[in-house]
Structure formats: structure tokens, C-alpha cells
């Protein structure tokens, strides 16, 4: 069961895997697992002050488990605030490329989700209705609820599996950034946008076999 939600607004982070306008289910072996959710992954730069964010997560854990030891809390805490270097190494082991994981290096990763659609706004407080404006690579802040959750597990020493999760209420897009995944038409045609190009699309090759 969950207990005692603790709300806090995050520092700025780089947004990855945003699913904030239409919920999606987690896919495993081509099959949907669980209920569709809204979600995202926050990439916090190394110089980001996460003291208040981490303190709120610890508070949520200690409200749920008042007698939990520092040693027992460590793995629960680290599963929420993941090392980007550690996650990059894990993904490389399962076949991802360096290009796919380089954005994680040196970062702190925090996944957030919600069963309810979060409000997404711009820096003027206006709702963002166009999902294409909120993409992997833009920068944002979010209001999160840190919640401690316990699931019965008879084989566990405590009789339950314990973890911390971050539920998202609202997201503020703070600024644009380089895209982390995918390309847009603007990326593809950036050399010729704004007018017709006189460039030879073949590169001037003389040996095209047709």
C-alpha cells in the first residue's frame, strides 16, 4: 500500500521518453504489461542540487517504514535515483549502442509516472496542447509526489517488496534542447529550408548506374 504523499517541484532536468499526452503501457516481449500510464525520465546534470528532492524521498520512506535502517534504505533509494553511468553500462550489456546511452553519462536519472494526465505548461503558464513541443531532449521541471510502496512478498525477509516511486502532477517545459531521439523534417531539410536549393542531390557523382 502507498502512504503519505510528499510533493515537491524539481530543479530543471533534461526530459527523456516523454509520454505526457497519451498514456502507454509498458511493453515486454511485444506484450503490454499493466495499465497504460503517463511517464517520463528526468536526466539531472551533475551540478544539479538534488538535496531537497532526495530529502523528500527519504521523508516519504521513513513515514512508511519508521524503523528502516540506512543500509536497508540504500537500495530502495538508489533504485529511484539511478546512476546514469550505471544505467548506461547496464544497457550496453543488453545490446544498446554508445550513441543510445551517451545522454545518461554523468547524470542522475529519476523515472516518474502517473495514471492521470499531468498538466503540461510553458514558461508563461499556458497549457501545451501540441505533444510535438514536448520531446526527448527539451528541458523541464515537474511537480512530483514521492510515495513509498509496499507489495506483499512472503519470501522477502520483511514479508514485502519495498520501493519508492515518483508520481507526476504537472510539468513545466522550461526551454528547448537538442533532440535525444528521432529526427524531424526540420533536421532532415535544414540545409534547404527557406528556399529552393540549386545543389545537385547526387553530389555531382558521374558514375550513377542509370
3-state secondary structure 186-198: HHHCCCCCCCCCC
Section 4-33 average pLDDT: 88
Residue 127: DSSP 8-state: B
Do residues 137 and 13 lie in contact, with contact meaning Cβ atoms separated by under 8 Å?
no
Q: Does domain 2-188 correspond to CATH entry 3.40.50.460? A: no
pLDDT computed for residue 209 by the predictor: 45
Confidence band (pLDDT; 50, 70, 90) for 195? Answer: low
CA-CA distance, 22 to 61, in Å (whole number)? Answer: 30
- C-alpha cell at position 178: 537538442
pLDDT computed for residue 184 by the predictor: 57
Section 134-156 average pLDDT: 95
pTM for the model: 0.82
pLDDT, tens digit, 9 for 90 and up, residues 19-56: 999 999 877 777 777 889 999 999 999 999 999 999 99
What pairs with residue 15 in β-bridges?
42
pLDDT computed for residue 205 by the predictor: 47
pLDDT computed for residue 190 by the predictor: 66
Nearest CA to 137 out of 21, 17, 10, 12 is that of 17
Q: What is the DSSP string of 151-188?
A: EE-TTSTTSEEEEEEEEEEEEEEEE----SS---HHHH
Domain boundaries along the sequence of the chain: 2-188
Amino acid at each position: 500500500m502507498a502512504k503519505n504523499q510528499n510533493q515537491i517541484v524539481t530543479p530543471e532536468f533534461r526530459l527523456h521518453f516523454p509520454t505526457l499526452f497519451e498514456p502507454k503501457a509498458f511493453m515486454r516481449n511485444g506484450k503490454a504489461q499493466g495499465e497504460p500510464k503517463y511517464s517520463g525520465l528526468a536526466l539531472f546534470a551533475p551540478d544539479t542540487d538534488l538535496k531537497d528532492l532526495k530529502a523528500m524521498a527519504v521523508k516519504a520512506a521513513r513515514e512508511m517504514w519508521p524503523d528502516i535502517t540506512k543500509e536497508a534504505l540504500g537500495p530502495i533509494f538508489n533504485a529511484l535515483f539511478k546512476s546514469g553511468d550505471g544505467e548506461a553500462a547496464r544497457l550496453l550489456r543488453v545490446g544498446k549502442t554508445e550513441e543510445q546511452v551517451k545522454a545518461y553519462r554523468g547524470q542522475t536519472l529519476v523515472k516518474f509516472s502517473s495514471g492521470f494526465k499531468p498538466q503540461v505548461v510553458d514558461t508563461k503558464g499556458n497549457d501545451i496542447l501540441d505533444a510535438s513541443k514536448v520531446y526527448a531532449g527539451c528541458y523541464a521541471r515537474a511537480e512530483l509526489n514521492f510515495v513509498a510502496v509496499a507489495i506483499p512478498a512472503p519470501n522477502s525477509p520483511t514479508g514485502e517488496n519495498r520501493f519508492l516511486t515518483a508520481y507526476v502532477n504537472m510539468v513545466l517545459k522550461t526551454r528547448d534542447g537538442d533532440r535525444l531521439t528521432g529526427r524531424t523534417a526540420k533536421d532532415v531539410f535544414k540545409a534547404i529550408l527557406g528556399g529552393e536549393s540549386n545543389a545537385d542531390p547526387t553530389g555531382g557523382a558521374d558514375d550513377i548506374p542509370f
